[in-house]
Amino acid sequence: MNPDALRGHMDALLLSVVEAGPLHGYAIIEALQERSGGALSVPTGTVYPALRRLERIGHLSSEWATVGGRKRRTYRLTDSGRRQLEGERSAWREFTSAIGSVLHPGPNSP
Amino acid sequence: MNPDALRGHMDALLLSVVEAGPLHGYAIIEALQERSGGALSVPTGTVYPALRRLERIGHLSSEWATVGGRKRRTYRLTDSGRRQLEGERSAWREFTSAIGSVLHPGPNSP
DNA sequence: ACCTACATATAGAGAGCCTACATGTAGACT
DNA sequence: AGTCTACATGTAGGCTCTCTATATGTAGGT
């Protein structure tokens, strides 16, 4: 997967995986990989800064937890993040529709 | 349309619109807009450098033409560009599939 | 003692898309 | 004549995000 392709879609991915319930960074990376059928291998150096950014702008909140002697920073979706995710989802539909109609032109335009 | 979303997909868009036949930069911008139903308004400062980059790496070739007193640089797809476009199209399918399965999880995973 | 899995974090590089600006022709309108 | 819009190309610099590489530390297995 070309790294640049992810640009601008990372937020949607991260918000989406924490939608069902709070998760910590490492688990988020695994969830991303699992839910994409192995297609998405996002490095830690991408995810951790991105999570902090999303927290800084208010879409996520975090708290520390210790599980089995390991410290975890657990992220959860805020109300703002939930609204943002809705927006990201409709933006994704518009985006794929726009690119798709250029890449695969046909008699399917309204 | 969030600018970052286009990242890494510009090449596919540009190669795709010149696939049917040679076009100059300005016409490419209009074609992009038209074929996307108005969703894609790509600024000249994005398109012209991108076209030059694609020519530099051999996916496009260009030649000057004068039409109605105006100078145009007309781009056409090279063999390399045609192969690249094929790759971009299958990459696009994989990309949308991966992101889509994270954004819209459901009982549709193989 | 060593290795792997788990877990988080930061610095710096790299790339490409955007804004803003510069330049010029043709044609229409006032 | 002067102005405006559409057509047409181009560059400089900024911005932001993703990645690579590195650092740190715990727990558990061999």
Which CA-bearing residue is nearest the C1' of D10?
A: B48
Distance between CA atoms of residues B102 and B109, nearest Å = 11
* A108 — pLDDT class (breaks 50, 70, 90): low
Tens digits of per-residue pLDDT, B38-79?
999 999 999 999 999 999 999 999 999 999 999 999 999 999
Decide if pLDDT at B100 tops 90: yes
Secondary structure of B18-85 as H, E, C letters: CCCCCEEHHHHHHHHHHHCCCCCCCCHHHHHHHHHHHHHCCCEEEEEEEECCEEEEEEEECHHHHHHH
Task: Say what the pTM is.
Answer: 0.93
Sign of CA dihedral A13, A18, A24, A29: negative
Whether B54 sits with its Cβ under 7 A from any strand D atom: the answer reads no
Angle, nearest 10°, between helix axes A79-103 and B25-35? 120
Question: In a 10 Å sphere around its CB, with 0-12 CB exposed, 13-18 middle and 19+ buried, how is residue B52 labelled?
Answer: middle
- Within 10 angstroms of residue A94's Cβ, the number of other Cβ atoms is 14
How far B63 CA sits from the closest chain A CA (Å)?
A: 24
Say which residue, A4 or B52, is predicted with more confidence. Answer: B52
A40 → closest Cβ in B7, B32, B98: B98
Tens digits of per-residue pLDDT, A32-41?
999 999 999 9
Tens digits of per-residue pLDDT, A46-87?
999 999 999 999 999 999 999 999 999 999 999 999 999 999
